[in-house]
């Protein structure tokens, strides 16, 4: 039971990092990035490739974050001539292209089998202290990322992003460069998400193309929408809610007596029902975004 609790909280913390990254784009700037999981995939593959080259974890992390930020800058450049909905489709296409490349370029990514045997960051410790140490690292990184995202969201940069989201013409009149704002938001989001993917690869000891499935992006969108767009606390609440739904269903399976296939369907149905309920009766999320009012 202790190992299960540690594993559940660790995975929730990693997904919270990715969701915080998405919130920097979707919540503050209103950008519809449907290929967001590609940033996490780059972070995960950087961990695997760096391990294969004999690198230490920090250079591998720097590689993943750097590649993710370059991809974010490229995605931002695509948005110059595309409307928001078409840009969202373009980001989804980019993520699928990267997943296809990862599936087929076995010399670099291990192909469909991925890269396995990635060492845990604390494998020198005895069980269960290695898992506890990794959980402590994830929670410390998450706390730092949440504090930074809250500072950015409540500061001048966050206010500029919200102005761009609500009144882009007014933001332009006030001297803001919308292209620069979008680029900075996406690159910051990419860095946080790549960090989450890097930690996930080390936790699972694996990096594979399934890390970049579109369903993972929409799972992150579900977490952010349930918790509340544009609110750091709301994102954390949304992640906790979805993770709780994941955990409750297996226990209910044992109580009620249905098989694993039904349990998987019920898990998706429960998360979908929570999202639908929020959209119908609390569209702003469980923790709504608080906007400052000028007296």
What is the per-residue pLDDT for 295? 43
Residue 215 contacts residue 56 (beta carbons within 8 Å)? no
Cβ–Cβ < 8 Å for 241, 227? yes
Residue 243 has a pLDDT of 92
pLDDT in the model for residue 187: 95
Q: Which of 127, 115, 137 is nearest to 50 (CA)?
A: 115
Q: What is the mean pLDDT of residues 103-131?
A: 89
| Encoded tokens for 269 | 């149905």
What are the tens digits of pLDDT across the range 124-176? 788 888 899 999 999 999 999 999 999 988 888 888 999 888 888 888 888 88
Other beta carbons within 10 Å of 255: 7
Separation CA 14–CA 93 (nearest Å): 24
- Per-residue model confidence as pLDDT tens digits over 208-222: 999 999 999 999 999
Indicate if the pLDDT at residue 82 is higher than 90.
no
Helices 214-227 and 84-104, axial angle in degrees (round to 10): 140
pLDDT greater than 70 at residue 46: yes
Whether the Cβ atoms of residue 118 and residue 48 lie closer than 8 Å to each other? yes
- Listing DSSP states for 99-164 in one string gives HHHHHH-HHHH-GGG-EE-PPPTTTTSPTTHHHHHHHHHHHHHHHHHHHHHHHHHHSHHHHHHHHH
Element (H, E) at 207: strand 206-207
pLDDT tens for residues 226-242?
Answer: 999 988 999 999 999 99
Q: What is the pLDDT of residue 253?
A: 66
C-alpha angle with apex 201: 198 to 204, nearest 5 degrees?
A: 150
Contacts of 195 (CB under 8 A, 6+ apart): 17, 43, 61, 64, 65, 141, 145
Q: Residue 207 has what pLDDT?
A: 95
Instruction: Give the per-residue pLDDT at 128.
Output: 86
Banded model confidence at residue 270, pLDDT cuts 50, 70, 90: confident
More confident residue, 293 or 240: 240
Q: Is 283 exposed, middle or buried (0-12, 13-18, 19+ CB in 10 A)?
A: exposed
Confidence of residue 23 (pLDDT cuts 50, 70, 90): very high
Quote helix, strand, coil % in the chain, to nearest 5: 80, 0, 20
pLDDT recorded at residue 292: 61
């Amino acid at each position: 039971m202790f190992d299960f609790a540690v594993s559940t909280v660790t995975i929730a913390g990693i997904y919270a990092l990715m969701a915080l990254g998405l919130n920097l784009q979707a919540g503050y700037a209103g950008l519809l990035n449907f290929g967001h999981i590609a940033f996490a995939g780059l972070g995960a593959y950087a961990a695997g490739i760096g391990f294969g080259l004999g690198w230490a974890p920090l250079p591998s992390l720097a590689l993943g974050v750097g590649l993710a930020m370059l991809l974010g800058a490229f995605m931002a450049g695509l948005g110059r001539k595309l409307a928001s909905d078409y840009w969202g489709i373009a980001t989804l296409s980019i993520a699928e292209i990267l997943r296809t490349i990862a599936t087929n370029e076995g010399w670099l990514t291990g192909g469909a089998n991925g890269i396995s045997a990635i060492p845990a960051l604390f494998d020198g410790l005895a069980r269960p202290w290695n898992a506890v140490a990794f959980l402590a690292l994830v929670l410390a990184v998450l706390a730092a990322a949440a504090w930074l995202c809250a500072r950015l969201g409540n500061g001048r940069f966050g206010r500029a992003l919200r102005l761009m989201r609500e009144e882009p013409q007014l933001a332009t009149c006030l001297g803001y460069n919308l292209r620069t704002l979008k680029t900075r938001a996406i690159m910051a989001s990419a860095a946080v998400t790549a960090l989450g993917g890097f930690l996930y690869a080390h936790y699972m000891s694996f990096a594979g193309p399934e890390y970049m499935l579109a369903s993972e992006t929409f799972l992150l969108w579900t977490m952010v929408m349930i918790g509340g767009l544009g609110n750091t606390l709301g994102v954390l609440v949304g992640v906790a809610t979805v993770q709780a739904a994941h955990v409750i269903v297996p226990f209910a399976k044992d109580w009620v007596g249905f098989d694993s296939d039904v349990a998987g369907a019920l898990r998706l149905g429960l998360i979908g029902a929570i999202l639908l309920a929020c959209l119908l009766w609390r569209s702003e999320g469980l923790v709504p975004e608080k906007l400052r009012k000028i007296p």
